[in-house]
Copies of this chain bind each other. A is one copy, B any other.
Amino acid sequence: MKPPIILINYKAYENSYGEKAIEISKKIEKISKNYGIPIIISVPATMIYKLSQEVELIIYAQHVDSVRHGAHTGSILPEMIKDSGAKGSLLNHSEKKIRLDEIHEALTRMKNLGLESVVCIDSYELVHPLALLKPDAILIEPPELIGSGRAVSKERPEVITKAVDEVKKVPGVYLLAGAGITTGEDVYKAIQLGADGIGVASAVMKAENPEKVVEDFVANAIKAIDKRQ
């Protein structure tokens, strides 16, 4: 993982699975290759294997359970997503919240398997506590802006700057910003405010021209990171 970090969460949108998922993934892959920037896509568990065969993108699960091998019908284990081709997973997304002890246990398991982790959280006050658990990155998303089209970097820039201050208290954890990010400018602003990258979903998944949207994001992310250095 290396900034700028671009994470696209497929959620359970109509194009998150099946042929449509492969189609949009190939468009994202094209931008990733053109710009030489790895892009993370976070996909339904059923699609991890197929997409890992079809595209050269960094494939994440959207959630993993923290239980171990055994009698756990319906659980998705870290070992299972790794076996299918995932390089990591989101954890604690606001649409799939888990408890602190579950985050802790899942992170421990994932580290042992060499899997990356992005832990999501709603409020900057919880960034430091979660950073102590040493995920690879924390993705902060004010829930009221998720899917709103109003970007966190414009509407609530202080959430990003405060979260950046908090995450710096623990070395080695990246900070991503998300919620409402729609334009390349939103991405640029987020990184300027100190974020190491961004998380998006609807802006890409519901776009008429996702290729163009991702290109705009990537170009601005590179520009913002370059300026920072």
Enumerate chain B residues within 8 angstroms of A47, measured Cβ to Cβ.
49, 80, 84
Answer whether A100 and B129 are a contact pair too, CB < 8 Å, given A18-B83, A49-B46.
Answer: yes
Chain B CB within 8 A of A207 CB: no
Chain B CB within 8 A of A98 CB: yes
Chain B CB within 8 A of A37 CB: no
Q: Which of A62-70, A153-161, A181-189 contacts B (4 or more CB under 8 A)?
A: A62-70
| Contacting residues of chain A (84-112) with chain B, CB-CB under 8 angstroms | 84, 90, 93-101, 103-104
Enumerate chain B residues within 8 angstroms of A55, measured Cβ to Cβ.
none
Picked from B11, B17, B72, the residue with its CB within 8 Å of the CB of A79 is B17
Copies of this polypeptide in the complex: 4
Picked from B14, B48, B133, the residue with its CB within 8 Å of the CB of A69 is B14
Picked from B14, B46, B62, the residue with its CB within 8 Å of the CB of A73 is B62
Q: Are A76 and B44 in contact (CB under 8 A)?
A: yes
Chain B CB within 8 A of A45 CB: yes
Enumerate chain B residues within 8 angstroms of A97, measured Cβ to Cβ.
99, 101
Scan A100-130; emit 1 where CB is below 8 A from any B CB, else 0: 1101100000000000000001110110111
Interface size on A, residues (CB 8 A): 59
Q: Are B83 and A147 in contact (CB under 8 A)?
A: no
Min CB–CB distance A211 → chain B (angstroms): 22
Chain B CB within 8 A of A1 CB: no
Chain B CB within 8 A of A146 CB: yes
Answer whether A96 and B71 are a contact pair too, CB < 8 Å, given A46-B45, A46-B81.
Answer: no
| Contacting residues of chain A (1-19) with chain B, CB-CB under 8 angstroms | 9, 11-14, 16-18
Q: What are 16 pairs between A and B in contact, CB < 8 Å?
A: A11-B73, A12-B73, A12-B75, A16-B80, A18-B83, A47-B80, A49-B50, A62-B74, A71-B95, A73-B90, A74-B93, A75-B95, A97-B99, A100-B100, A100-B126, A129-B133
Query: Which 5 pairs, one residue from A and one from B, show the smallest C-beta to C-beta distance?
Result: A63-B74, A74-B96, A129-B129, A45-B45, A12-B72
